[in-house]
């Protein structure tokens, strides 16, 4: 059997390697348009920033190593331009000319290319993308002095200012990489907050960290035009701001690289290849996997490509299974979109659906916010994890996001596993997670999320949300149950301060101040206000506790939070 694979990186090379492990007799040809195969796309930003020093370490395999280890016929600089499904052949352009290669099974793994919006001036030579090894080499060369490339590097004196268009995962990584090089970076994002796949109250902490890194963030605006002159470019934003730039990184998304697939009559949706649960396309003998394929979101059912390395690698492997072990191959799971990014000292990660996706899908949900320490508070190095969890009315987990200096990856991976397993939020209470003081808490943040969720679902805890603040101000008594000292340091105007430890003895004061209105309780992180809520609810008040406390409120309202206190570590909460 001859298996021809188009695209030799994540999905394509996984398919090739698995096919060889299953069948020693198969002829396996990998056709790759670029100069390299099996390269570490995800490592490119770290090479630009200098944390990965040697470009050769990005090349995980070479055609030679793949031939030696797996007897693969890997042909770089070979571009597939056409497919003839009836004849079962592909047309290939290379330095040697044009040739036709026949296949028994064809795997399409062409990935995606950078979206290039119609912005005047985008063809400036100072505009870069970051998708290939060549892109990373060019970007690194632009920010390091060529004389120093062989040894220690420093910022190239000709590159002092950069604009990164797009503050998604790759845009953030690019911005940080450039900032590490001493370049003054402006980050421009059309959405109203950085990291649009995450909710605003998680993205807030990332914005703060970008600020600390000296990266200027422009949100809610795009690039209207790029004006080039001999000395530098100027990026004109849609609000009229003009940002000078010695280089521009374009990172506003990717689109499936599938023109040759659509031409062959293989079914695509918005340019992405449609497959069944085994990666089979609409044409017999042709499979597809990776960034170029439409996925169905595991939580919302939304159909879209999911551009992540894990799903691409696993899909490639499963496609090879279906080609060589039809009937027994496991189906491709629907992706959860679990993703993670480091920004300075912080890690931000997510799994499952965000608020916007749930709303768009019409799925009713509850959200809980927590700010627990990542490990025992008494052990040195304790720091907060800002965690939010979305769940259905029946408790089924829908999504989770977290940001913090430590321990975020572990919690999101546990929650991703829980969502994949179809668990409910209260089921999280029962997870036996590893604990010793340097690593976690006897009640791990994930267990705590389960406990808060269970309280919300059974009515023990009633929440109000930072997003509701304007309406709450109009209709309810705001009761701040922090200490007097904390209250004096900053509070919401018009709120009444009764420390939670005094509340039982001062219920009459609350009753008088509320004058029949509901009582909306708040504290720093939501812990003390939950205690206060229980006291109030049992005393017959219409009460609710602010989800995530002032930490979350500040993240939602930023400067619009009146003189609400600056967030601080919630260990006192
Ligand atoms: C800078 C960057 C950082 C990233 N970081 C992360 C991360 O940290 N975590 C994560 O999960 N994901 C990350 N990703 C996403 C991840 O790299 C992709 O999801 C994954 O590589 C997709 O695999 P793929 O095989 O579908 O496509 P690709 O890896 O893009 O490979 C497709 C290959 O097909 C070739 N090709 C295309 N058309 C043809 C043709 N007609 N003929 C021959 N060859 C062709 C292309 O040249 C390309 O080499 C990152 C992506 C980028 C760009």
Check if the beta carbon of residue 129 is closer than 8 Å to that of residue 115.
no
* Least confident window among 54-63, 98-107, 492-501: 54-63
From the alpha carbon of 130, which atom of ligand 1 is closest? 1
CA of 112 to the centre of ligand 1 (A): 6
Phi, psi of 451 (to 5 degrees): -70, -45
Token digits of residue 25: 């007799």
76-113: b or e for each residue (b if 16 or more CB lie within 10 Å)?
A: bebebeebebeebbbebbeeeeeeebebebbbbbbbbb
From the alpha carbon of 306, which atom of ligand 1 is closest? 19
Rounded CA separation 202/348 (Å): 8
From the alpha carbon of 254, which atom of ligand 1 is closest? 53
Q: For 409-437, how does the pLDDT look when each residue is reduced to its tens digit (9 = 90+)? A: 999 999 999 999 999 999 999 999 999 99
From the alpha carbon of 79, which atom of ligand 1 is closest? 42
Ligand 1 neighbour 290 (Cβ under 6 A): yes
Residue among 5, 9, 342 to mutate when testing ligand 1 (max atoms within 8 A of CB): 9
CA of 432 to the centre of ligand 1 (A): 37
Q: For 110-168, how does the pLDDT look when each residue is reduced to its tens digit (9 = 90+)? A: 999 999 999 999 999 999 999 999 999 999 999 985 334 334 455 555 779 999 999 99
| Residue 558 burial (CB count, 10 A) | 14
From the alpha carbon of 113, which atom of ligand 1 is closest? 30
Tell me: pLDDT of 565 over 60.
no
CA of 294 to the centre of ligand 1 (A): 15
CA of 549 to the centre of ligand 1 (A): 41
Rounded CA separation 357/216 (Å): 28
Tell me: pLDDT of 568 over 70.
no
- Nearest alpha carbon, ligand 1 atom 19: 308
pLDDT at residue 563 in the model: 52
Q: What is the dihedral of CA 461, 467, 472, 473, to 10 degrees?
A: 140
Question: In 3-state terms, what secondary structure has residue 90?
Answer: strand
CA of 163 to the centre of ligand 1 (A): 23
Check if the beta carbon of residue 446 is closer than 8 Å to that of residue 428.
yes
Model's pTM, two decimal places?
A: 0.94
pLDDT at residue 148 in the model: 40
Tell me the average pLDDT across 509-529.
98
What value does the mean pLDDT of the chain take?
95
From the alpha carbon of 312, which atom of ligand 1 is closest? 23
What's the order of all strands across the beta sheet hosting 223-228? 223-228, 233-237, 242-245
Ligand 1 neighbour 9 (Cβ under 6 A): yes
Percent share of the chain, pLDDT over 70: 95
């Amino acid at each position: 059997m001859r298996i021809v694979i188009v695209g030799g990186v994540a999905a394509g090379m996984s398919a090739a390697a698995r096919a060889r492990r299953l069948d020693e007799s198969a002829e396996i040809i990998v056709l790759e348009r670029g100069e390299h195969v099996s390269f570490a796309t995800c490592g490119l930003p770290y090479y630009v920033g200098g944390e990965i020093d040697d470009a050769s370490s990005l090349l995980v395999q070479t055609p030679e190593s793949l031939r030696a280890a797996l007897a693969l016929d890997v042909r770089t600089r070979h571009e597939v331009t056409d497919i003839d499904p009836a004849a079962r052949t592909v047309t290939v352009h290379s330095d040697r000319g044009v040739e036709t290669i026949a296949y028994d099974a064809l795997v399409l793994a062409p990935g995606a290319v950078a979206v290039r919006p119609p912005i005047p001036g985008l063809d400036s030579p100072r505009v870069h993308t970051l998708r290939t090894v060549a892109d990373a080499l060019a970007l690194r060369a632009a920010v390091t002095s060529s004389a120093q490339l062989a040894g220690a590097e420093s910022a190239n004196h000709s590159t002092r200012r950069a604009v990164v268009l797009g503050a998604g995962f790759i845009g953030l990584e690019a911005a940080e990489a450039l900032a590490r090089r001493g370049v003054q970076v402006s980050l421009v994002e059309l959405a109203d907050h950085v990291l649009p796949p995450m909710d605003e109250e998680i993205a807030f902490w990332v914005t703060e960290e970008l600020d600390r890194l000296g990266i200027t963030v422009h949100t809610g605006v795009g690039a209207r035009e790029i004006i080039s002159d001999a000395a530098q470019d100027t990026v004109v934003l849609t609000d009229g701001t003009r940002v000078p730039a010695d280089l521009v990184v374009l990172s506003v998304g990717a689109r499936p690289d599938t023109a040759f697939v659509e031409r062959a009559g293989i079914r695509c949706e918005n340019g992405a290849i449609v497959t069944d649960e085994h990666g089979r396309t609409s044409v017999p003998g042709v499979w597809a996997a990776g960034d170029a394929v439409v996925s169905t979101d595991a939580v919302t059912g939304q159909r879209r490509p999911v551009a992540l390395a894990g799903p691409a690698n696993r899909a490639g492997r499963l496609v090879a299974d279906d080609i060589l072990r039809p009937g027994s191959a496991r189906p491709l799971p629907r992706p959860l979109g679990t993703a993670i990014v480091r920004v300075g000292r912080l890690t931000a990660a997510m799994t499952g659906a965000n608020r916007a996706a749930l709303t768009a899908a019409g799925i009713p949900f509850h959200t809980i916010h927590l700010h627990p320490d990542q490990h025992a508070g008494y052990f040195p190095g304790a720091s907060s994890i800002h965690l939010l969890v979305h769940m259905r009315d029946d408790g089924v987990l829908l999504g989770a996001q977290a940001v913090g200096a430590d321990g975020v990856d572990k919690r999101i991976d546990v929650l991703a596993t829980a969502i994949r397993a179809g668990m409910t939020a209260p089921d999280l209470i029962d997870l036996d997670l590893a604990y010793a003081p340097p690593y976690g808490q006897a009640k791990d943040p994930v267990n705590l999320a389960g406990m808060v969720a269970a309280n919300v679902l059974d009515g023990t805890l009633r929440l109000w949300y930072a997003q509701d603040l304007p309406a709450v101000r109009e209709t309810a008594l705001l009761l701040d149950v922090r200490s007097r000292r904390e209250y004096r340091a900053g509070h919401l105007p018009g709120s009444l301060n009764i420390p939670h430890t005094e509340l039982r003895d001062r219920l009459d004061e609350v009753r008088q101040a509320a004058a029949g209105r509901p009582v909306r309780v708040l504290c720093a992180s939501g812990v003390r206000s939950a205690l206060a809520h229980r006291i109030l609810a049992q005393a017959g008040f219409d009460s609710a506790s602010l989800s995530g406390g002032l930490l979350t409120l500040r993240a939602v309202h930023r400067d619009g939070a009146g003189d609400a206190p600056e967030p601080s570590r919630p260990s006192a909460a």
